[in-house]
Amino acid sequence: MRMNRCSIALMAVISISMMAGRSEGQGVVRIVPEESTSIYQEADGPSPSDLVVPTELSSEFKDEALKQDNGTWKDGDCQFNCGPLWSVYAGAVILRRDNPDVMGPLPVDPIVLGTPPFDVGTSVGVEIDARRRLGERNELQVRYFGVAGWSDQFEDSGTIGPIQWEAFAGYATRLHSTEINLRRCWTDRVTVLGGFRWVELNEKVDYEINTTTFGFSADFAQRAGAYNNMYGFQLGTDVLLWDRGGPFTVNSEVKAGIYSNLAKNSGALESPIGDIVGDGRKYHTAFLGQLAINAKYQLNRNWALLAGYQMLWVEGVALVNSNQVDALVAGDVDTSGSPFYHGATVGAELRW
């Protein structure tokens, strides 16, 4: 009887040992008393929590999130087509000033037969546009363009009866514009902007006439100038017109503003019988509107080429037109001028 009990106990021990051996091969939970108490479980793949980037390490992966999207560089913090932190554009502006309405010489209109045919044509200036992104959808812009080289001159001579005459006339004008705008990305295709703008528009004209009658000569000289300094605020929109997912895009920009214009006129007449000098100044409300269409080709991550066409019209400014003399005689400044400018732009943009 005792022998049977021993046999049964021995068989039980052997069975438990064999079952323990099979359990290790099948990956069943195992407890190791000598080590810290823990449970290891086999898995088919990594847990979803293993793919989460810790907050303190997220900044290290920010550059990897940078990608190109339809020619616009975006980072992980942007939901819209945000640009880079900085962008600087530099190029040439080729503007035409339409034929100006210039006053004719006062003392000898019958001799010179009216106003000389000034045609200032087109002139090349410089344009600089710098932008700095502020957060996800805002951008600060500083833009300048200026053209200082419009000019034309006229020379003529002739004889009327006993009078021989020689005439010279010169005309010059310039335009400078500086603006500071806050731009906000309203949607991925529409940007609204508002800011301050300063525009300087100046003109001058000179006449010199020499007449000879029966051996006696008389010299006449006339000089006139018009100066405008416009300060004010503007609003505008920048709309993305063409974007098919490639490096080529087209946008249209419209801006308009109401300005306080400090307008000045000056004139001087030198003749054998005496000199006459007059000048005037006053503040007047002026308007300026601008329309531009620009095409951009993104060469790589940092560089792009741009070309476009713009139109600029101004109302309520002083010019050296025929109304200036009457206004000066009355002690006033004529501000009925409305010059129009248009032309092409071309340049390159650096972004980083």
Q: DSSP readout, 101-142?
A: -PPPPSTTHHHHTS-------EEEEEEEEEEEEETTTEEEEE
Q: What is the pLDDT of residue 37?
A: 44
Could you give the CA distance from residue 283 to residue 289 in angstroms, rounded to a whole number? 19
Q: How many CB atoms within 10 Å of residue 201?
A: 25
Residue 137 belongs to some domain of the structure: yes
Residue 260 belongs to some domain of the structure: yes
pLDDT reading at 26 higher than 70: no
Surface-to-core class of residue 122, CB atoms within 10 Å of its CB (0-12 exposed, 13-18 middle, 19+ buried): middle
Residue 7 belongs to some domain of the structure: no
Residue 24 belongs to some domain of the structure: no
Could you give the CA distance from residue 181 to residue 132 in angstroms, rounded to a whole number? 11
Confidence of residue 11 (pLDDT cuts 50, 70, 90): low
Answer whether 266's CB lies under 8 Å from 306's CB.
no
Domain range for 216: 83-351
Number of Cα atoms under 13 Å in the Cβ half of residue 217: 5
Of 78 and 279, more confident: 279
Query: What count of residues does the chain have?
Result: 352
pLDDT reading at 69 higher than 80: no
Surface-to-core class of residue 179, CB atoms within 10 Å of its CB (0-12 exposed, 13-18 middle, 19+ buried): buried
| Number of domains, the chain | 1
pLDDT reading at 346 higher than 60: yes
Nearest Cα to 223, choosing from 263, 260, 271? 271
Q: What's the whole-model pTM score?
A: 0.73
pLDDT reading at 109 higher than 70: no
> Token match 């900085």: residue?
86
Nearest Cα to 113, choosing from 172, 171, 167? 167
Q: What is the pLDDT of residue 257?
A: 97
DSSP 188: S
Residue 103 belongs to some domain of the structure: yes
Residue 14 belongs to some domain of the structure: no
Q: What is the pLDDT of residue 83?
A: 64
Q: What is the pLDDT of residues 185-225, one digit of tens each?
A: 999 899 999 999 999 999 998 888 888 888 788 888 888 89
Residue 222 belongs to some domain of the structure: yes
Confidence of residue 66 (pLDDT cuts 50, 70, 90): very low
CATH of the domain at 253: 2.40.128
Start-to-end CA span in the chain (Å): 94
Surface-to-core class of residue 77, CB atoms within 10 Å of its CB (0-12 exposed, 13-18 middle, 19+ buried): exposed
pLDDT reading at 59 higher than 50: no
> Token match 């300005």: residue?
259
> Token match 């080289």: residue?
149
Q: What is the pLDDT of residue 305?
A: 98
Residue 322 belongs to some domain of the structure: yes
Query: What Rg do the C-alpha atoms of the chain give, in angstroms?
Result: 40
Could you give the CA distance from residue 94 to residue 345 in angstroms, rounded to a whole number? 6
Q: What is the pLDDT of residues 110-145, one digit of tens each?
A: 444 456 667 788 999 999 999 999 988 999 999 999
